[in-house]
Chain A
Amino acid sequence: MKGLAPLFLGIFGTFAFSWIGLTVIPTWQMGDLNPESDEEGTDIYPRPQSGMFDRGEHVYAANGCVYCHTQQVRADYIADDIERKWGNRRSTPRDYIFDRPVFLGKMRMGQDLANIGARAPTPEESPSASGGASPAGAPATQAAAGSPSPGPSVAATGPPGTQATSAAQASSPPAGAAESPAASPSKLASLHTSPAPPGQRTGVASPSPGQMANTTPGGSSPVAPSAQTPGAPWPIQTAGFPPMYSAAWHHVHLYAPRSINLDSNMPAYRFLYEKRRIAGERSADALQLSGSDMPPEGWEVVPSYDAKCLVAYLIGLNQFHGLKEARSLGGAPPTGGAPAPAVQGASPPPPPGAAK
């Protein structure tokens, strides 16, 4: 090859071709998406998230969660993500318009988290969604009674986005739902059309297929060990823990993943928590730990602000809202708050070790 000019032109040309083709044109095509809303312009999705959510996003980035967790649900005709209850529709570009950075991810050493917040019980079921464990008092009874929580609630400190919105919208039903715990299972069944055969729902510990999040398994026995339920995307946790995927559960899971699932190979994020001597009364957000993870007598483990933000972020991850461009399948968005109190009522008392 002689002469530099053709070489330079070629080098720049090939590169410009790819740059324009794969980044500039897509930006023209879909670089300015807007949230979708209904005709009245009320039901807007997605919405920008709270400060805690944003900070949690950075904690997520800093600690490299993205290297093991994806946040994308693939279409039902491609993969079995939806069958695994990781979502009720495929993810679309619009779901991510407020995400910075965006964590689509490239590895599933852990579950997909695109809808981890949708699996969380609504605040009525878990009175201290933004903090840690329940405030002083018997958490289970409190939750079962559906009484308004004296502790911090998601609506107060959590993201004002979908989750908080749902919290606010759902603030009326708890009374009715709590009134008739016995009626709830049928309600649950009608609400969530189950794609899984009923035969897979073995035992009382089985989560509802449409919405396993709201279950506290091991309702029959507080000492039930970690049990694997066929069809459940995740082994059922050991009894005595907060409702699955609730904020308190996330804290315990982040602090001691193997206390909830023996087979988990998630690292423990203990540096996000503080072990301290109980001064006066036990903190409202102290973790409900068990076994060897329990702090010694007179000590407690409380989440740092970063840990709270991270959990607020996880709780805020929710793509259940319908979008015109993606067909929703299966389970309805678990924002009703109706089914859970019934299950909550069956939730076991805290293990003796976790007593204040």
Chain B
Amino acid sequence: MNTTEIPLKDPSVSAAASDTEQLERAYIDASTRVPVLMFYTSAIAWLIVGTVLAMVVSFKLHSPDLFGDISFLTWGRLRPAHMNTMVYGWASMAGMGTAVWLMARLCRTTLRFPLLLAAGAAFWNLGVLIGVGAILLGDSTGFQWLEFPRYVAVILFVAYTLMASWAVLMFRHRRGDQIYITQWYLLGAFLWFPWLYAAGQLMLFVVPVQGVLQSAVTWWYANNLLFLWFGAIALGTAYYMIPKVIGRPVYSYHLATIGFWTYALFSSWTGMTRLIDGPFPAWMITASIAATILTMIPVATVGLNHHLTMQGYFPLLRYSPTLRFTVFGAMSYTVFSVIGVLISFRSVASYVNFSQVSIAYTHLGLYAFFTMTIFGSMYYIVPRLVGREWRYGSLIKLHFWASAYGIGLMTLMLLAGGFLQGSNLENPALPFSESIETVLPYLRGRSLAGILLTVSHFIFAYHFGLMLLGLGRTSTVPTFLNPVEAETSGGH
């Protein structure tokens, strides 16, 4: 490993950074203030909306008569509304906020053309708002992950074009010709998303493909959105935050290279594992299963790289909110991928294919991996935008534990319940309703986990609101989760 190749500098609180660099960074951070805060504020608002929807969805699944008679509160509309709010409202906007900030920092240039971004964010919000409204009013397209009607897709695309053109312009103005690992992932995400979205829209609505191919396109899109858009942003963020917080370069650049290219190559082929045993040619599904197994290569290299970077610094997890959330996210990436491999084996899939296990899998990816990583980055970035430190270490701690236990419990409930549901479903001696009876207690447990997550999100939104109103602490020391003893005061 050649450490001089790594353009990372020591953490900003460290004395090693020169005054000029600190000043430069402060300038760059200040220039990103308006657009990034706009993304974050919108994202957190959508997070709250999506959380409330999620609660209703979760409770209605085991208590179907809740709000039964109202058309826009029927389960089959609330569920896609929740999904799309989270995917396009919360996750995409939060991810773009973090990506924009990282881009500006890594290109080492102040953010230009903030209006492009602000307009993009505004259009995006409009698109999500209309889209979720349309779903609730019964105008869903019926394609999972792409329920927004066509006119919304147009709005989102305009919004995205504004933001993508910003990214290209930023890249042209970057200083230094080193491209850091994070930038590979972010550049990939910025380019993959529009292609994905356009391909999905084109093949489903403009020149619609025939019959079951619609499902192939839908799941190809869904898995690629999960991996190449959310996953790429989260991995890029982790590659920045972990070394940054502990003040140590990434362990191996070469491992990172292998990890990135194998990730791009294999994870983009995994979509058909959602269609195992379905009416498709066997080669499509087999190719996806093989690709899923091969995703163990990027998982191993990325995980190893993060682990070796962190080695000796794990005690810092006690103090730094950013590090704790990010490391949780990075570890969840491994768990998410391993579960993905397990449920993609044909023998397992024939049991769990149509059970709650697939819901567990999606939440592992979108929440435990992506959302937790993004929470971490927000704890790092927001103080640098508003010039205040987080007000209460205790609230951050509460947020972390409620989120961690919430998503942990939820995953366990859905995995355990789903496996039982699936095995009862595959036992013809039992009536079909038995498989539902089996999973219901687990779904109630999932609702309990949902309450934990709701608490955590409201706490976070409140805390973020305080920061936005300038009510954070005025201090030169970041807010730690626990009081820092003298010897570890270097980290944040």
Chain A interfacial positions (CB closer than 8 Å to B): 1-4, 7-8, 10-12, 14-15, 17-19, 21-23, 26-27, 29-33, 57-58, 60-68, 70, 72, 74-75, 78-80, 83-84, 90-109, 111, 228, 230, 232-235, 257-258, 261, 263-271
In the complex, which residue of chain A has the Cβ closest to the Cβ of B353? A106
Interface residues of B in 184-209 (CB under 8 A from A): 184, 187-188, 191-192, 195-196, 199, 203-204, 208-209
- Least Cβ distance of A320 to chain B in Å? 15
- Least Cβ distance of A224 to chain B in Å? 17
Is B141 interfacial (CB-CB < 8 Å)? Answer: yes
6 additional A-B residue pairs with CB within 8 Å, beyond A14-B261, A265-B64: A63-B76, A66-B76, A93-B280, A107-B359, A263-B436, A268-B68
CA distance A306 to B146 in the complex (A): 23
A-B contact list, 30 entries, CB within 8 Å? A14-B264, A14-B268, A15-B264, A19-B199, A22-B272, A22-B284, A23-B209, A23-B213, A31-B209, A62-B142, A63-B74, A63-B77, A68-B76, A74-B277, A78-B350, A79-B350, A83-B428, A94-B211, A99-B214, A104-B279, A107-B358, A109-B436, A234-B432, A234-B433, A235-B431, A263-B433, A265-B64, A267-B74, A267-B75, A271-B70
Contact B199–A101 (Cβ < 8 Å): no
Q: Which of A10, A257, A271 contacts B261 (CB 8 A)?
A: A10
Contact B69–A11 (Cβ < 8 Å): no
Is B4 interfacial (CB-CB < 8 Å)? Answer: no
What mask results when residues 164 to 189 of chain B are scored 1 for a CB within 8 Å of chain A, else 0? 00000001000001110000100110
CA distance A101 to B218 in the complex (A): 11
Could you say which residues of chain B place their CB within 8 Å of the CB of A268? Answer: 64-65, 68-69
CA distance A258 to B68 in the complex (A): 12
Chain B interfacial positions (CB closer than 8 Å to A): 60-62, 64-65, 68-71, 74-77, 79-80, 138-144, 171, 177-179, 184, 187-188, 191-192, 195-196, 199, 203-204, 208-217, 220, 224, 228, 257, 261, 264-265, 268-269, 271-272, 274-275, 277-281, 284, 287-288, 346, 350, 353-356, 358-359, 425-428, 431-433, 435-437, 439-440
Could you say which residues of chain A place their CB within 8 Å of the CB of B268? Answer: 14-15, 17-18
Could you say which residues of chain B place their CB within 8 Å of the CB of A4? Answer: 171, 179
CA distance A120 to B64 in the complex (A): 26
Q: Which of B74, B217, B287, B356 contacts A23 (CB 8 A)?
A: B217
Contact B427–A271 (Cβ < 8 Å): no
In the complex, which residue of chain B has the Cβ closest to the Cβ of A106? B358
Contact B426–A79 (Cβ < 8 Å): yes
Whether A106 contacts B217 in the complex (CB less than 8 A), given A11-B188, A21-B269, A72-B278, comes out as no
Q: Which of A32, A79, A257 contacts B277 (CB 8 A)?
A: A79
Contact A1–B184 (Cβ < 8 Å): yes
In the complex, which residue of chain A has the Cβ closest to the Cβ of B269? A18
Whether A15 contacts B228 in the complex (CB less than 8 A), given A99-B211, A267-B75, comes out as yes
CA distance A14 to B185 in the complex (A): 13
Could you say which residues of chain B place their CB within 8 Å of the CB of A63? Answer: 74, 76-77, 138
Contact A7–B184 (Cβ < 8 Å): yes
CA distance A119 to B359 in the complex (A): 30
- Least Cβ distance of B266 to chain A in Å? 9
Contact B210–A64 (Cβ < 8 Å): no
Contact A80–B435 (Cβ < 8 Å): no
Could you say which residues of chain A place their CB within 8 Å of the CB of B275? Answer: 104
Contact B354–A108 (Cβ < 8 Å): yes
Whether A97 contacts B210 in the complex (CB less than 8 A), given A23-B217, A62-B77, comes out as yes
CA distance A83 to B432 in the complex (A): 11
CA distance A295 to B390 in the complex (A): 58
Contact B264–A10 (Cβ < 8 Å): yes
In the complex, which residue of chain B has the Cβ closest to the Cβ of A110? B436
Contact B62–A265 (Cβ < 8 Å): yes
Q: Which of B141, B187, B269 contacts A11 (CB 8 A)?
A: B187
In the complex, which residue of chain B has the Cβ closest to the Cβ of A92? B279
Contact B426–A265 (Cβ < 8 Å): no
Contact A101–B143 (Cβ < 8 Å): yes
Contact B440–A100 (Cβ < 8 Å): no
Contact B211–A26 (Cβ < 8 Å): no
Q: Which of B61, B68, B210, B288 contacts A270 (CB 8 A)?
A: B68
CA distance A231 to B268 in the complex (A): 42
Could you say which residues of chain A place their CB within 8 Å of the CB of B437? Answer: 263
Q: Which of A2, A15, A90, A270 contacts B192 (CB 8 A)?
A: A15
CA distance A75 to B276 in the complex (A): 11
Which of B204, B268, B355 counts the most chain A CB atoms within 10 A?
B268
Whether A269 contacts B74 in the complex (CB less than 8 A), given A29-B281, A108-B355, comes out as yes
In the complex, which residue of chain B has the Cβ closest to the Cβ of A29? B281
Q: Which of B179, B272, B279, B354 contacts A90 (CB 8 A)?
A: B279
CA distance A97 to B272 in the complex (A): 19
Q: Which of B71, B209, B436, B439 contacts A271 (CB 8 A)?
A: B71
Contact B277–A66 (Cβ < 8 Å): no
Which of B64, B71, B432 counts the most chain A CB atoms within 10 A?
B432
Could you say which residues of chain B place their CB within 8 Å of the CB of A83? Answer: 428
In the complex, which residue of chain B has the Cβ closest to the Cβ of A31? B210
CA distance A4 to B275 in the complex (A): 36
Contact B432–A26 (Cβ < 8 Å): no
In the complex, which residue of chain A has the Cβ closest to the Cβ of B287? A21
Q: Which of B74, B213, B432 contacts A27 (CB 8 A)?
A: B213
Contact A75–B177 (Cβ < 8 Å): no
Could you say which residues of chain B place their CB within 8 Å of the CB of A102? Answer: 211-212, 214-215
- Least Cβ distance of A64 to chain B in Å? 2
Contact A105–B265 (Cβ < 8 Å): no
Whether A233 contacts B213 in the complex (CB less than 8 A), given A61-B141, A271-B74, comes out as no
Could you say which residues of chain A place their CB within 8 Å of the CB of B171? Answer: 4
CA distance A3 to B184 in the complex (A): 11
Could you say which residues of chain B place their CB within 8 Å of the CB of A99? Answer: 211, 214
Contact A30–B76 (Cβ < 8 Å): no
Could you say which residues of chain B place their CB within 8 Å of the CB of A95? Answer: 211, 279
Could you say which residues of chain B place their CB within 8 Å of the CB of A97? Answer: 210-211
- Least Cβ distance of B39 to chain A in Å? 23
Whether A31 contacts B213 in the complex (CB less than 8 A), given A101-B143, A109-B61, comes out as yes
Whether A65 contacts B350 in the complex (CB less than 8 A), given A14-B261, A22-B288, A271-B69, comes out as no
Contact A104–B265 (Cβ < 8 Å): no
Contact A32–B210 (Cβ < 8 Å): yes
Could you say which residues of chain B place their CB within 8 Å of the CB of A94? Answer: 211
